[in-house]
Chain A
Amino acid sequence: MENPYFTLHHEFREAGAEVLISSGQACVAFGIATFSKDGDWIIRENEASCNAVLSVLGKHGAMYRLGAPLHPGWLCVGWTSHFEFRAQAGLRMRTDFCSRPPRVPLVDNLWSRAVKAAGLDVVDVESLIRLKQTRRQRDYSIIGALAEVAGWEEDLPELALQYLQDYDGLLRAVQRWPAEAAACEREAVRRLRGDAPRTEVVAAIAVEQDARIQEDQARIAAMQAKFEAYASQFGKLRSRWRRTGTPLPEQHRELVIEAESLRKEVL
């Protein structure tokens, strides 16, 4: 059986959507995660891509989860769209879309650096690392793994020095690339260059992780505050959709009306 999220990506592309596999499924494609329970895509901020994705998801009998309508009007201010449906063998498929992911300063770079293979379009490894700087502790192992396989192994010192998450790996990177380490402003690298004790370097890595976690928590809290009233209304809509089996195009039409107020909220 093929990864159903990769199959879905092929369907999106065949329908004319410009989308990039991101987050967990990108980790699966890059060979560092065996499993990811949902699918995240970066989508082009245009109606053609949104309509193509909605068309595919509609054929699967998808239902909106809490989020904004999949439309450039909401994507362009940072909102995200979320769906779910049942696939073969009862698999619960969950799909998430955004066009302006957090922590990626230049969205155009995402598209120009995207890599393609076997009909898949995947975000580049550096953008993936940025995307993975989330509030979840476990994502920092993923970041370390990406820095290891793309930075250390592929001879990209900036990637290794900036993102390795373990003492021994970072020490080796500083010794291997002394000039690049001297130019690196990361606190853990600076301490290694100053022959600081291991505990200080490990502490610097931990503090850095915690700062990223707090930043992401603050971002999500701010988003939820703007979302509160809408979330309540969405819950009522969703209950009705479930009860009546409302098809996705109708859900979308109703959500566009319900979510109008969100368009004024820039995230």
Chain B
Amino acid sequence: MTDQEIVAASERLLRPYRIREDCPYLSEDQRELSRLDLEGRSAWMGEWLMLAASNVLLAPTTVRSR
């Protein structure tokens, strides 16, 4: 695995892509998120933060990362 391959894979993940439906790690939310561009992903996170700040409970099925 070369540095170039790692960079190419990383760049690919910054663009919209599809996650297979039976992926055991990711929920429907993440599958939807992966299909968005960076702007869309950023807006989604902004929305989550606003909801959190408003003390709205976050969906328990979502993978949250530190």
Contacts and interface: CB of A to CB of B under 8 A. Distances in A.
Interface in B8-60: 8-17, 19-20, 23-26, 29-30, 33-36, 38-39, 41-50, 52-53, 58
Interface in A152-192: 153-154, 156-159, 165-166, 168-169
B17 A149 contact: yes
Contact of B11 (A32, A89, A115, A169): A115
Interface size class of B (residues with CB under 8 A): 35 or more
Contact of B10 (A34, A122, A141, A157): A122
A34 B14 CA distance: 14
Contacts of A33: 30, 33, 63-65
Among B10, B53, B58, max chain A CB count under 10 A is at B10
A115 B14 contact: yes
B45 A166 contact: no
Interface residues of A, number: 57
B33 to A, nearest CB: 5
Given A124-B7, A149-B19, A90 B44 contact: no
A172 B33 CA distance: 25
Interface stretch (A1-9, A44-52, A73-81, A195-203): A1-9
A224 B41 CA distance: 36
Contacts of B23: 145, 148
Interface string A114-139: 01011010101110000000101011
Among B3, B26, B29, B58, max chain A CB count under 10 A is at B26
Contact of B53 (A34, A40, A91, A120): A91
B65 A24 contact: yes
A183 to B, nearest CB: 12
Given A2-B43, A29-B41, A89-B50, A115 B17 contact: no
Contacts of A105: none
A31 interface: yes
B46 A32 contact: no
**Chain A to chain B: the 7 pairs with minimum beta-carbon distance, closest first:** A1-B46, A145-B25, A31-B34, A3-B45, A33-B65, A154-B9, A24-B65
